Amino acid sequence: MFNILIVEDEIKITQVIKAYLDKEGYHCIVANNGEQALEFFLKNSIDLIILDRMLPDISGEEICEKVRKISKVHIIMLTAKTEDSDKIDGFNIGCDDYVCKPFNVKELVLRVKAVFRKMDVENKDLLKFSDELEIDMNSHEVKVRGKKVELTNTEYKILLLFAKNQNKVFTREQLLELTIEEHYEKIDRVIDAHVKNLRQKIELDTKKATIIKTVYGVGYKFGL
């Protein structure tokens, strides 16, 4: 279930938006001012923010800028300002979409659905395990605890194999066949060397590995 933060000080508009999104099966959290919005954002896992530009305490622009410093969450901004320059300003500060008031709530719902369809496509190519490990299968980029790490092609193959098979224990022979292409390297201790190098790049403590664990007498398994 996707979590949506609705930030709008006009209660009736908030109620209508929430009712339509609730009907679509989304979980909505409502904030009626900027301070509350930032508090709720920090305390919850939010997938999308519907953000009114004109709020009584903190402007939508300021909220957008604060959120953008820490998150790439999708932001749809609601505004009564319809000039092109206003829209450009909104995009420049980090909003992803713009809906001008008055608006058709059904159109807003369609825009929300489009955001989550895009996220579903993107997430199919992204393996993420909490904040510990993230593997982008399109770019082959690997992040460990939020920091990018550089892996060799073989190290990447080994890590990806484990991440895709979280409950499987692999023997050294299986890892050789599935990740090593060079025929002259087909000796099982080669895998130990690759795993050792990989652990040095991704583990906090290589002696107490938590991402790639040793299964004594058998081989290795994924630990997350």
pLDDT tens figures, 85-130: 666 766 767 788 888 888 899 999 999 998 888 776 666 677 888 7
Domain covering 3-124: architecture: 3-Layer(aba) Sandwich (3.40)
Average confidence (pLDDT) over 4-13: 93
Residue 134: CB atoms within 10 A of its CB come to 18
> What predicted TM-score, i.e. pTM, was given to this entire model?
0.58
Domain covering 127-222: architecture: Orthogonal Bundle (1.10)
Q: What pLDDT score was predicted for residue 84? A: 63
Give the list of residues 6+ apart from residue 53 with CB closer than 8 angstroms, or none.
Answer: 59, 60, 61, 77, 78, 79, 80, 81, 90
Angle in degrees, 0-180, between the axes of helices 172-179 and 153-164, rounded to the nearest 10:
120
Phi, psi of 62, rounded to the nearest 5 degrees: -65, -40
pLDDT > 70 in the chain, percent: 89
> What is the chain's mean pLDDT, rounded?
85
What are the residue ranges spanned by the domains of the chain? 3-124, 127-222
- Report whether 190 contacts 176 (CB < 8 A): yes
Q: Is the pLDDT of residue 196 over 80?
A: yes
- Report whether 47 contacts 119 (CB < 8 A): yes
Residue type, 170: F
**Secondary structure (3-state) at 110:** helix
Residue 182 pLDDT class (50, 70, 90 cuts) = low
Average confidence (pLDDT) over 177-201: 76
Q: What pLDDT score was predicted for residue 172? A: 87
Dihedral through CA 175, CA 176, CA 179, CA 184, nearest 10?
A: 170
